[in-house]
Amino acid sequence: MKKLKITQKMYESGALAIVRTKSFERACEIADGCIKGGIPVMEMSFTLNNAGDIIEGLVEKYGDDLCVGAGTVLDVETARYAILKGAQFIIAPNYSEEVAKMCNRYQIPYAPGCTSFTEAVEGLSSGATFIKAFPISDFYGAKLAKVFKTPIPDMPILASGGITLDNLEEWLRNGVDICGLGGLLTKGTSEEIAENATKIKNIITEFRNQK
């Protein structure tokens, strides 16, 4: 049930913050704003050496109030390390069958970045919870989700790159299930982050209520 509960929490949020900071204090400021604004999901990028320690600290401080996972996880060694540090989900810019198996073993949602439809199908077949529409989303834009979902309407899509308050609804309309956002949910004070998070959450809620 662990994987199901985390997946449900991520979907209900509808968005997550993509965080790159070496400072635990700054990570907490971002977390406070996201939680207050109704987007209690954060991805800590493993482009930073201390991402695991920050994840561990956030899990200890916020408990069930925050769903925090690891991003930019390129290999199985990093995946296991992140999971042992408390990461509740794994996101990557690439697809790795070994990482997929590791995440299934620990019952952790996995979202691999897939650059082709074939790769996306392979990811789903290996147990990926979401298919990350990145980095090709920067080229195709919001229509990418529709391209993926035309042959497989139930393919769960997590998109990041190029999503703004102005075009968020378009991404949702094309079938994105979860939106990853950087600047809107990571820059400014906790109050400013909370304000942006509230706007994002309202757009997602309003769109879903129309369906």
pLDDT at residue number 135: 62
Q: What is the dihedral of CA 109, 34, 184, 81, to 10 degrees?
A: -40
- pLDDT mean over 46-70: 97
* Res 110 pLDDT > 70: yes
Flag whether the pTM goes above 0.85. Answer: yes
The pairing of strands 110-111 and 41-45 is: unpaired
Banded pLDDT at 116 (limits 50, 70, 90): confident
- pLDDT mean over 156-167: 92
Instruction: Return mean pLDDT, the chain.
Output: 94
Structural domains of the chain, with CATH = 2-210 (3.20.20.70)
* Res 210 pLDDT > 70: yes
Q: Using an 8 Å Cβ cutoff, are 144 and 137 in contact?
A: yes
Percent of the chain with pLDDT over 90: 87
* Res 139 pLDDT > 90: no
12, 97, 138, 172, 200 from 178: Cα distances, Å: 9, 22, 16, 8, 11
The region of weakest confidence among 37-51, 59-73, 127-141, 143-157 is: 127-141
pLDDT at residue number 153: 93
* Res 73 pLDDT > 80: yes
Q: Using an 8 Å Cβ cutoff, are 146 and 172 in contact?
A: no
* Res 137 pLDDT > 90: no
Q: What is the dihedral of CA 193, 198, 203, 206, to 10 degrees?
A: 170
- pLDDT mean over 52-62: 98
